[in-house]
Amino acid sequence: MELIQRMLAGDKRACARLITTVESNPEEAEKILREIHPYTGRANILGITGPPGAGKSTLTDKIVKKFVDEGKKVGIIAVDPTSPYSGGSILGDRIRMQDLALHPNVFIRSMGTRGYLGGLSKHTKNALKILDAAGYDYIIIETVGVGQSEVDIVKTADSILMVMVPGLGDDIQSIKAGIMEIGDIFVINKSDLFGADRTATEVNMMLDLSSNMDRRPPVVKVTASKNEGIDTLKSEIINHLVYLNESGKLNERRKNNMRTEVVELIETELRKIVISSTASENKLESEISKIITKEKNIYEVRDEFLKAIREE
Ligand SMILES: Nc1nc2c(ncn2[C@@H]2O[C@H](COP(=O)(O)OP(=O)(O)O)[C@@H](O)[C@H]2O)c(=O)[nH]1
Ligand SMILES: [Mg+2]
């Protein structure tokens, strides 16, 4: 496919068109993803998550600029309906981001959280594969840290940055219960605001208390809007990526993600078989009536359907 050749050669427009095709046309999607598979697995994938307004986009912008200054190619997938990349935020941010988007080595794709058939996380992962094949050195996925779907998305990353802000107070307790354990690096952004030290102390204490950790995640204070602390943060990102490589954890993580994905694909196909088999000739309806009249029980009905499927 010519579009794929152009994408592999680094053409940004080809990249964008492939992502759109994969999002909107399931059959084409599979063809494209089969063909690009050999070129994937090379990018470093960073997940940036945290509450809305924590400064994730501002931080992404600053980190990306550091990478770009080193000559790296960076792809950004922003999963956030209010992301400045999509033009949903304040004008200043929008202009600044356009700046970045025009850079030949930066590709930005924003995805809203609605209207993605078959689940947003599938589409994010597919876009990720395309950017990976296109030769982006780093791919950053920005998501709001709420909901299972966002957690699923960010888990595809090699390194997960958990962005927090001063004055979260009790929120730290509630975050802790849920998604705190997926953070590889904790970023206290808006360190120019009152309470940053206290928040950092609280996060540090919490991390000290957490057991089952073969690596204690670092806590980094930054002020993204003033470009402060970004070098330290970048070093921590690199440190973590090196750790992942040397410890074999990177392969482990990627294998786990791959396993989940394959099982999901199989489940999707099996579900189609179940739906078509139970939909035929109102068989399910008559079986349900028999369950109600105690002629059969639910397990007998299950086994009969399974038997029919196996014999097909
Ligand atoms: N005071 C302060 N404000 C910041 C900092 N970083 C970002 N902001 C502001 O916080 C607001 C939300 O930022 P944004 O990057 O859109 O947050 P996101 O929703 O997490 O992506 C914007 O008005 C930013 O200018 C910071 O370090 N200090
Ligand atoms: Mg944002």
CA distances from 256 to 71, 156, 247 (A): 31, 10, 15
Answer whether 29's CB lies under 8 Å from 133's CB: no
Average model confidence (pLDDT) across the chain: 87
Contact present, 159 and 24 (Cβ < 8 Å)? no
Closest residue to atom 19 of ligand 1, CA basis: 53
pLDDT tier at 81, thresholds 50, 70, 90: low
Would you say 237 and 185 are in contact if contact means Cβ atoms under 8 Å apart? yes
pLDDT digits (tens, 9 = 90+) for 237-262: 999 999 999 999 999 999 999 999 99
Tens-place pLDDT, residues 174-192: 555 556 778 899 999 999 9
How far does the centroid of ligand 2 lie from the alpha carbon of residue 181, in Å?
22
Q: What pLDDT is attached to residue 60?
A: 94
All structural domains of the chain, each given as residue ranges with its CATH number in brackets, are 39-247 (3.40.50.300), 263-311 (no CATH)
126-163: pLDDT as tens digits? 999 999 999 999 999 998 866 677 777 888 899 999 99
Ligand 1 neighbourhood includes 60 CB (under 6 angstroms): no
Looking at the DSSP bridge assignments, the partners of residue 110 are: 78
Calculate the alpha carbon distances from 271 to 24, 152, 246, 279, 300 in Å: 21, 21, 40, 12, 20
Surface-to-core class of residue 71, CB atoms within 10 Å of its CB (0-12 exposed, 13-18 middle, 19+ buried) = exposed
Which residue has its alpha carbon closest to ligand 1 atom 8?
A: 55
Q: Please report the pLDDT score of residue 90 as a whole number.
A: 42
